[in-house]
Each structure stands twice: as structure tokens, then as C-alpha cells.
A and B are shown apart, each in its own frame.
Chain A
Amino acid sequence: AQSVTQLDSQVPVFEEAPVELRCNYSSSVSVYLFWYVQYPNQGLQLLLKYLSGSTLVESINGFEAEFNKSQTSFHLRKPSVHISDTAEYFCAVSVHTDKLIFGTGTRLQVFP
């Protein structure tokens, strides 16, 4: 069985500071990895995904995540955050199927 751990339930940060949201997973087989963002009272939006190939994946709004197989991690980073990045971020894994397994989420709060 697969599982996802997001150790930080909340991450407060000042605007223009760098941020890292941690995600670790457990699986005995190869996985696909995802980061989703959820703004208040909205559904999930795919931020970025790792399927294969380059271990560093980037989103269009400056976020990036690196797949580290040895550490079973897929941490999300951004070098300079904006107020508009305030949201809930979910890490998820999938194993060659449609089924997504989500972590418990990290609330990113960006302060001016």
C-alpha cells in the first residue's frame, strides 16, 4: 500500500521569502507524484507532476519540486512567495492507476 506524509500542517512565511513544503511517500513500487493547490472553497488544481524523466519539475507560477527516490521525497519549493500563494497544498501519489492517495495537506500562509 502507498501512503503520503506531509509533516507540516502549516507553514507561515513572509512575502518574497523562499518556502519549502515537505512531502514524503511510501511505496514498494514506482509511483507518479503530484502537487495540488486548493484555494478557499474551491476544488483542487494541479500544480505540477512527476511521471518520469527529469526529477526536477516546474510549474508555470514559479514552484518546483524534485523527485528524490532514495529519500522517497517530493518537496515543493518556491524561491520567492507572493500573497496570492496563500492556499492549501496537497501532495499525492498514484501507482499506475487512476487512484490518487493524498497527504493531509499543508496550509501556506504568506504575510506581507
Chain B
Amino acid sequence: GAVVSQHPSRVICKSGTSVKIECRSLDFQATTMFWYRQFPKQSLMLMATSNEGSKATYEQGVEKDKFLINHASLTLSTLTVTSAHPEDSSFYICSASPGQGRYNEQFFGPGTRLTVL
């Protein structure tokens, strides 16, 4: 149980285009979903937290107009990188939490590697 998928696993795009990454919780309802960014050989940095049906909460320094997050249902959240540039190239990982109880474990997706040429 508690499986989270991401699609696509790998994407290459041209500079200036937009890319959408999907995150799905396959066997549970995710009250909260998280988007992380990981640079090579570095830790995960939380970009934003999204709750179903409401606007995402972005971490300091993350451009909300650049990284559009939509959490339209309890099983799906999307991250759209708008007008992508080479510096947006990174490994993007989502996680999902069922949001029950005092401690809400996060279940992580396999990640999406974005390369912007």
C-alpha cells in the first residue's frame, strides 16, 4: 500500500517551453502533497505544500508564477514549470500524505528528472 507515482519519469524540453509533472497517490487519498527539488548530490528542498482544493503554500524563494501547483483531487497534484530555463533542470520529487492522525507520514514518488536544453 501507499504507492505514489510520478509521470513522466524523465523529460527533456527546450528553453522557454512549459513542462507538467503529475503526482498520483494510487491507493490512498492524499490530503496533502509536497513538491521537492533535488540538485545533484544535494538534499531535497521543499518547494511547496498543497492541500486538495486550496492554493499551494510556497517556501521562501520559490517563484509561485514559475512553478504552478494544482491539487485538483485527493489523488492528483501537478507541478508545471513555466517558461523553463536550463537552471530549472533538476530532479523533482513529490510526496503525498493521507493526513490522518497527529503524525502524517509522507510517501514519496520515484521522481522526475527534468533537463532543459
Give the interface of A toward B (CB within 8 A): 32, 36, 41-46, 49, 51, 90, 94, 96-100, 102-105, 107
Instruction: Determine if B35 is an interface residue (Cβ-Cβ < 8 Å).
Output: no
Are B93 and A44 in touch, CB under 8 angstroms?
A: yes
CB distance from B41 to the nearest CB of A (A): 8
Are A104 and B43 in touch, CB under 8 angstroms?
A: yes
A-B contact count (CB 8 A): 49
Give the interface of B toward A (CB within 8 A): 4, 6, 32, 34, 41-44, 46, 49, 93, 95, 97, 99, 102-111, 113
Contacts of B6 in A (CB 8 A): 43
Are B109 and A43 in touch, CB under 8 angstroms?
A: yes
Tell me the nearest residue of chain A to B107, going by C-beta.
Answer: A46
Contacts of A100 in B (CB 8 A): 34, 46, 106
Are A43 and B43 in touch, CB under 8 angstroms?
A: no
Contacts of A90 in B (CB 8 A): 43-44
Tell me the nearest residue of chain B to A32, going by C-beta.
Answer: B103
Tell me the nearest residue of chain B to A97, going by C-beta.
Answer: B104
Bound form: Cα–Cα A12–B97 in Å? 34
Are B44 and A102 in touch, CB under 8 angstroms?
A: yes
Are A98 and B111 in touch, CB under 8 angstroms?
A: no
Tell me the nearest residue of chain A to B113, going by C-beta.
Answer: A41
Bound form: Cα–Cα A32–B104 in Å? 11
A-B residue pairs in contact (CB < 8 Å), sample of 30: A32-B103, A36-B108, A41-B111, A42-B110, A43-B4, A43-B6, A43-B108, A43-B109, A43-B111, A44-B44, A44-B108, A46-B105, A46-B107, A51-B103, A90-B44, A94-B103, A96-B102, A96-B103, A97-B104, A98-B32, A98-B34, A98-B97, A98-B104, A98-B106, A100-B34, A100-B46, A102-B43, A105-B41, A105-B42, A105-B43
Contacts of B97 in A (CB 8 A): 98
